[in-house]
Structure 1
Amino acid sequence: MVSPLNAIVSRLRLKHLRLLIALDEQGSLHRAAQQIAISQPGATKALHDIETAFGASLFIRSSQGLQANDLGRCVIRYARLIHSDLAHLREEMVGILEGQGGRLSVGVIMGAVPLLMRALTRLRDVQPALSVEVIEDTSARLLTLLDEGRLDLAICRSSVSRRPDAYDCLTLHDETVDVVAHPTHPLAGKDQVDLAELARHRWVIYPTNMPMRLLLERELAAAGLEFPRYPVETASTFAMFSLLQEDPSLVALMPADAAAFGERFGMLSRLPLTLASRNEPYGVIVRHGMALSPPAQMLLDELRR
């Protein structure tokens, strides 16, 4: 049985994490010991201490060396995360001491990507030493990362959470949507398009229960139309752009800012259809009561502009 958390915390050391990562990279206790500059007997004892701390065997021993089992692969994955977090911690501390730079991790939904890029460009003009990590995902996934402390803030919707009161919304942004297609699509360039005509084409759509999917479902239901059959579902901006390039017969619903970006570079055309429904606004979301780091506060100021 896996040890209780208190037992793991009291016994596990940072040198243990280094050994786990080295074992994963080298596949040999001898080579792993050399990599982190300890003796092989010291590495053997450290590995015994690690498995005792977790209360489980983490490696399969064979004549070819050590191979992580399922539990071992899980532990190694988190060892790498902790090591990475410590590197980010040091980077942020250096930035604080130097009065500039630092590190910022921000999550964003597809429709807010252009807004975030504009704000980040302005921020990095005044803070060129700032390291930034941008994670694009669904609101639900971004809120999970926010809960885990992996993000400083997220630009998304807290309403998808079962506990929306666990978050503070620092500013709101409206989101309008466009129906888009490849510039060579039969409907591109028309003066007017109706929803019934669009419903007969093949679609790229967002996954079930995402706000953009729900908006399309409302529009079609209000018009008495069936939902498109055999669509391609994705929440990825890149996948959606790529699909529209590869298959010019597809149409898609896309946030207006993303659609304008694609149109500006000739990747797609916005079709002349005004939707009655409006998408739920998204916001800059943080954990309730969480204080923003200086870089996060500066980004918030830029987003509010």
Structure 2
Amino acid sequence: MSEIDRFFRAQLKPRHLQLLVALDDMRNLGKVALSLHVSQPAVSLTLGELERGLGVRLFERTARGVNPTIFGECMIRQARSMLSGLAQTRDELRALMSGASGRCSVGALPAMTPALVPQALQLLKQSAPTTTVALHEGPMDVLLPALRRGGLDFIVGRLRSEALVDDGLAEKPLFDGASALVVRPGHPLARKRRVDWATLAEFAWILPPVGSLPREPLEVAFREHGVGMPSNTVETLSTHVILAYLQSTDAVGLLSRIAALHYSEQGMLAMLPLDLPHLLRPIGLTWRRGTALSPAAQQFMRAIEETSERLAQPRTQRGKPRLKR
């Protein structure tokens, strides 16, 4: 057995992991000592233990503080993941001890929260009422780092645009990424059988921000029809803001098709009879490859998959929700 194997098996402790993360965050031995409520010599001693045990230098000492080496960056990344995993294990144990049947932490893009996620939660609770789901809503650039650190079990939302196969993440598509144009039910265009792009450009719009994935197919559609982008616009990805703004104005908006169908069926919005080019990636699940998901996370995944299948069907053909074992 090598020295590094022996150190990992017998000597690596949570305090070493906490020190690595603190040093990366603060880059100063004195500040780290204060944050951990220990003396600065104690910080230096613990860091020395780590470096001797691993046989590599983890941080370069400078007059201004410390900077991680490539070995340090590797250890810091894994330390964050391990500490996050320990925290999740602690939370799951607490849930089990309190009578819950499990716990999972899930990230969701805003477009998934009006219909897909709530209905999947309802389906999950029918068969596992004591399972706890911690839901975190946000954009992918926030959720993906949390997933990589181990803070999330999986993400439900639009799959990444780039074909990354070796980045440690796995994906499963649920349905296509089609979008739909929506207005309030009493909008002048709501009952028209045909709507042209030149007419649409005359109205106010609530648009996805420039550079966001949903923006591209809209710009393509306007350009292909020889129409300039609207000038009276608001930009946001917030589904709640889009809904409230459309209901109180004659503006036109863009939503994922699954959210548009949900609001249309509820009588809250009307979908316009226009097809958008399918330039977006599918909606699906993203998780860390090679990571053993908890039973609670696996069960919620199944609930999301079955809910997505059900929502993809016409409303008249949808059966009663029932989670498969």
Show the counterpart of 1:253: 254
In structure 1, give the amino acid aligned to 2:112: A
Show the counterpart of 2:117: 116
Partner secondary structure for residue 125 of structure 2 = helix
Relative distance call for 1:87 and 1:141 in structure 2 (3 A) is closer
Query: Does the Cα contact within 8 Å between 2:110 and 2:138 map onto a contact in 1?
Result: yes
Query: Does the Cα contact within 8 Å between 1:259 and 1:268 map onto a contact in 2?
Result: yes
| Deviation for aligned residue 1:289 | 1.8
Show the counterpart of 1:265: 266
List aligned pairs for 1:1-305, cutoff 5 A: 9-10=15-16, 49=37, 52=40, 89-95=89-95, 101-113=101-113, 114-160=115-161, 165-166=166-167, 167-246=169-248, 248-305=249-306
In structure 1, give the amino acid aligned to 2:37: D
Distance in 1, Cα, partners of 2:214 & 2:232: 17
Relative distance call for 1:280 and 1:46 in structure 2 (3 A) is closer
Q: Alignment RMSD, CA only?
A: 3.4
Distance in 1, Cα, partners of 2:100 & 2:36: 43
Query: Does the Cα contact within 8 Å between 1:215 and 1:279 map onto a contact in 2?
Result: yes
Unaligned runs of 5+ in 2: 1-11, 20-32, 45-82, 307-325
Distance in 2, Cα, partners of 1:255 & 1:92: 33
Q: Give the TM-score taking structure 1 as reference length.
A: 0.67
Query: Does the Cα contact within 8 Å between 1:111 and 1:256 map onto a contact in 2?
Result: no
Partner secondary structure for residue 214 of structure 2 = helix
Distance in 2, Cα, partners of 1:256 & 1:147: 28
Distance in 2, Cα, partners of 1:222 & 1:252: 19
| Deviation for aligned residue 1:189 | 1.3
Distance in 2, Cα, partners of 1:169 & 1:227: 34
Query: Does the Cα contact within 8 Å between 2:207 and 2:215 map onto a contact in 1?
Result: yes
Distance in 2, Cα, partners of 1:47 & 1:220: 55
Distance in 1, Cα, partners of 2:301 & 2:236: 29
> Is the deviation greater in 275-284 or in 124-133?
275-284
Query: Does the Cα contact within 8 Å between 1:165 and 1:288 map onto a contact in 2?
Result: no
Query: Does the Cα contact within 8 Å between 2:173 and 2:282 map onto a contact in 1?
Result: no
Query: Does the Cα contact within 8 Å between 1:111 and 1:175 map onto a contact in 2?
Result: no
Query: Does the Cα contact within 8 Å between 1:100 and 1:127 map onto a contact in 2?
Result: no
Q: How many percent identity over aligned positions?
A: 32
Partner secondary structure for residue 168 of structure 1 = strand
Distance in 1, Cα, partners of 2:260 & 2:154: 25
Relative distance call for 1:200 and 1:212 in structure 2 (3 A) is same
Show the counterpart of 2:311: none
| Deviation for aligned residue 1:253 | 1.0
Relative distance call for 1:84 and 1:226 in structure 2 (3 A) is same
Distance in 1, Cα, partners of 2:157 & 2:105: 14
Distance in 2, Cα, partners of 1:46 & 1:268: 55
**How many residue pairs were aligned?**
242
